[in-house]
Amino acid sequence: MEGGINAWKGLMAEGVPKSGMAYFSPATRPEELMALAWYLEEGSQKFYSEVAQMVEDREGKDLFQGLAAEEERHKASLLQLYREFSGATSDQGFPGSVISPGREGDVMEGGMSVRDVLKWAKRKELIDILELSLSLETHSYDLHLKMGRQVKDQRSEEVFQVLAKAEKEHLKRLSSFLEKRV
């Protein structure tokens, strides 16, 4: 339901930036899944890094900085997977050589622009940013689960499952933190 319970009550609420759902067909190649996942981790990493500087809450800063660092590690895992899968000894321009970045790489979970989301976040309270972050991690968790089901080789499946588990852990941490702040 768009607008959440505030909309139900007839209250006007400024919505979060419009988001979509990552979509790929059964024909999508494993390298494309790795590239797509890499871009989204990069977008999340940028978002969390910037938001960590924005918020004044100390614990919130630490949480977002921690999440940014983990998204950076996820990118490294995906790059490593790509190298193993493609047999490449170098990065070979990954991920741009597989999927063009579009919007100069300014994309995050949901297909949203990192710049637009950060502009939105500047006007918002910590709780609003936490709720958006929860939405992003939910998408991310779902995406990695689907990617893990799509790939045929065991190694790729394992990597996506590990990433999915990590995103689920992010969800739990964000959720616990939100519970304390509500």
Partner 1 sequence: MDILNYFKPISTWSAEKVRGFLEEKNLRDYNLVDVRTLKEYEQGHLPGAQLIPVGEVADRLSELDPNKPTIVY
Residues that bind partner 1 (CB under 8 A): 1-5, 7-8, 10, 18-24, 35-36, 39, 99-103, 107, 110-111, 134-135, 138, 141, 168, 171-172, 174-176, 178-179, 182
- 108 φ/ψ angles, rounded to the nearest 5 degrees: -135, -175
What minimum distance in Å lies between the beta carbon of 145 and partner 1? Answer: 9
Q: Which is nearer to partner 1, 40 or 121 (CB)?
A: 40
- SS3 category, 106: coil
Q: Which is nearer to partner 1, 27 or 87 (CB)?
A: 27
Q: Which is nearer to partner 1, 7 or 122 (CB)?
A: 7
What minimum distance in Å lies between the beta carbon of 125 and partner 1? Answer: 14
Q: Please give the distance of CA 4 from its chain centroid, rounded to a whole number.
A: 22
Which residues lie below 8 Å from residue 130, measured CB to CB, with a gap of 6+?
Answer: 60, 174, 177, 178, 181
d(CA 161, CA 170): 14
What minimum distance in Å lies between the beta carbon of 86 and partner 1? Answer: 18
What minimum distance in Å lies between the beta carbon of 141 and partner 1? Answer: 7
HSE-CB at 142 with a 13 A cutoff on CA atoms is 13
What minimum distance in Å lies between the beta carbon of 89 and partner 1? Answer: 25
Q: Which is nearer to partner 1, 73 or 172 (CB)?
A: 172
By the 8 A CB rule, do 171 and 137 touch?
Answer: yes
Q: Which is nearer to partner 1, 53 or 100 (CB)?
A: 100
Nearest to 47 by CA among 74, 27, 30, 65: 65
Q: Which is nearer to partner 1, 53 or 182 (CB)?
A: 182
What minimum distance in Å lies between the beta carbon of 130 and partner 1? Answer: 10
Nearest to 108 by CA among 147, 136, 78: 136
By the 8 A CB rule, do 103 and 117 touch?
Answer: no
